[in-house]
Structure 1
Amino acid sequence: MQPPDEDLPVIQVSLGEFVLAAEQMFTVPDQLEAFLRFVLAGRLQYHDEHARISINARQGALAPHISKYQLYRDIDSVIGITKDLPFQLHMAIFPLASFRDSLTEDNHLKCPLSSPKGVIGIPLYRIPNMALGKVDRRHITRIFFPRLYHQGQNPAIPPETMTLIYEECLRPAVISLNPVDQSRWPITYSAAMTLYRDHKGRFHFGTIDFPSHLLDQLGSKLLELFQIQDGLQDAFFVHELRGTKGASHHNLHDAEKRRAAFNAVFHLFDMSIIRPEDWVVDIGLEIQHQGCILQWLTKGHRQFFNQVQYRVISEADWNNLVFQRYFPAKGTTAVKALQHFPSASYYRQWQALMARLDEDKATMVQNNQLMQWFNKLYWVPHPESDRMWSTKTGGKEWIPLPFGECGNCPRIAVNPRFHGKDAPRLDEETS
Structure 2
Amino acid sequence: MVWEPEHHPDADLPRETISLREFNLLVEDIWFNEHNVVERQDFETCLAALAGRYHHSASDEEHRLFINARNSAQMPPPAQDEEERNSEDYFHVIRDFDSILGTSEDLPYQCSLNVYPVAPFSETLTHRVYLYWPITRGNQRTEVEISRIPNLCLAKVGLRSKVNVMFPAMYTPHMSPPSLRVQGQLHFGTAEIPAHDIPTFYRRLRRYMNRIPQFQGAFFYHEVRGAKGGTHHDPEDDDDAEFALQDVFGHLDFDQITDDDLNHRWFVDVALEVRRPGHVVHWRRDNMERIIRHAVPHGSPLTISHLPRGKVLKMITPCS
TM-score range, shorter chain: 0.5 to 0.7
Segments of 5+ residues of structure 2 without an aligned counterpart are 1-5, 11-16, 20-52, 54-63, 80-89, 293-307, 312-320
Contact 1:77 1:243 in 2 (8 A): yes
Q: Which amino acid is 1:204 matched to? A: H
1:201 Cα deviation (Å)?
A: 5.2
Q: Which amino acid is 1:290 matched to? A: P
Which whole-Å deviations, capped at 9, do the CAs of 1:141-190 have from their partners, x for residues lacking one?
000011111123234499xxxxxxxxxxxxxxxxxxxxxxxxxxxxxxxx
In 1, the alpha carbon distance for the partners of 2:245 and 2:7 equals: 61
The answer to whether residue 117 in structure 2 is matched with residue 95 in structure 1 is yes
In 2, the alpha carbon distance for the partners of 1:98 and 1:269 equals: 23
Pair 288,138 (structure 1): closer, same or farther in 2 beyond 3 Å: same
In 2, the alpha carbon distance for the partners of 1:302 and 1:274 equals: 34
The answer to whether residue 217 in structure 2 is matched with residue 234 in structure 1 is yes
Q: Which residue of structure 2 lines up, in the alignment, with residue 56 of structure 1?
A: 68
In 1, the alpha carbon distance for the partners of 2:7 and 2:290 equals: 35
**Which residue of 118, 133, 136 corresponds with 1:114?**
136
Q: Which residue of structure 1 lines up, in the alignment, with residue 9 of structure 2?
A: 5
Q: Which amino acid is 1:227 matched to? A: N
Q: Which residue of structure 2 lines up, in the alignment, with residue 146 of structure 1?
A: 168
In 2, the alpha carbon distance for the partners of 1:53 and 1:84 equals: 64
Q: Which residue of structure 2 lines up, in the alignment, with residue 202 of structure 1?
A: 185
1:78 Cα deviation (Å)?
A: 1.0
**Which residue of 231, 247, 260 corresponds with 2:243?**
260
The answer to whether residue 107 in structure 2 is matched with residue 85 in structure 1 is yes
Q: How well do the aligned residues superpose, as a CA RMSD in angstroms?
A: 3.8
In 1, the alpha carbon distance for the partners of 2:65 and 2:291 equals: 23
Task: Name the TM-score, length of structure 2 as normaliser.
Answer: 0.61
The answer to whether residue 279 in structure 2 is matched with residue 292 in structure 1 is yes
Contact 2:91 2:276 in 1 (8 A): yes
Contact 2:112 2:195 in 1 (8 A): yes
Q: Which amino acid is 1:64 matched to? A: P
1:54 Cα deviation (Å)?
A: 4.5
In 2, the alpha carbon distance for the partners of 1:117 and 1:66 equals: 56
Contact 2:101 2:221 in 1 (8 A): yes
SS of the aligned residue for 2:256 comes to coil
Contact 1:102 1:131 in 2 (8 A): yes
In 2, the alpha carbon distance for the partners of 1:298 and 1:4 equals: 34
Q: Which residue of structure 2 lines up, in the alignment, with residue 70 of structure 1?
A: 92
Which whole-Å deviations, capped at 9, do the CAs of 1:231-262 have from their partners, x for residues lacking one?
21110011110133311111111111111111
Count of matched residue positions in the alignment of Structure 1 and Structure 2 = 229
Which whole-Å deviations, capped at 9, do the CAs of 1:128-152 have from their partners, x for residues lacking one?
1100011211001000011111123
Matches within 5 A, 1:292-331: 292-295=279-282, 299=286
Between Structure 1 and Structure 2, whose CA radius of gyration is higher?
2
Pair 4,60 (structure 1): closer, same or farther in 2 beyond 3 Å: farther
Pair 230,272 (structure 1): closer, same or farther in 2 beyond 3 Å: closer
SS of the aligned residue for 1:66 comes to coil
Segments of 5+ residues of structure 1 without an aligned counterpart are 7-12, 16-40, 42-51, 159-196, 306-406, 411-431
In 2, the alpha carbon distance for the partners of 1:298 and 1:242 equals: 28
1:274 Cα deviation (Å)?
A: 4.6
Which whole-Å deviations, capped at 9, do the CAs of 1:170-216 have from their partners, x for residues lacking one?
xxxxxxxxxxxxxxxxxxxxxxxxxxx9xx95311111111211112
Pair 62,127 (structure 1): closer, same or farther in 2 beyond 3 Å: farther
Q: Which amino acid is 2:272 matched to? A: L
Q: Which residue of structure 1 lines up, in the alignment, with residue 29 of structure 2?
A: none
In 2, the alpha carbon distance for the partners of 1:110 and 1:63 equals: 40
Q: Which residue of structure 1 lines up, in the alignment, with residue 229 of structure 2?
A: 246
Which whole-Å deviations, capped at 9, do the CAs of 1:98-145 have from their partners, x for residues lacking one?
000011111121222235784332211111110001121100100001
- RCO (CA 8 Å, sep 6+): is it higher in 1 or 2? 2
Q: Which residue of structure 1 lines up, in the alignment, with residue 266 of structure 2?
A: 279
Pair 117,282 (structure 1): closer, same or farther in 2 beyond 3 Å: farther
Q: Which amino acid is 1:257 matched to? A: D
Q: Which residue of structure 1 lines up, in the alignment, with residue 207 of structure 2?
A: 224
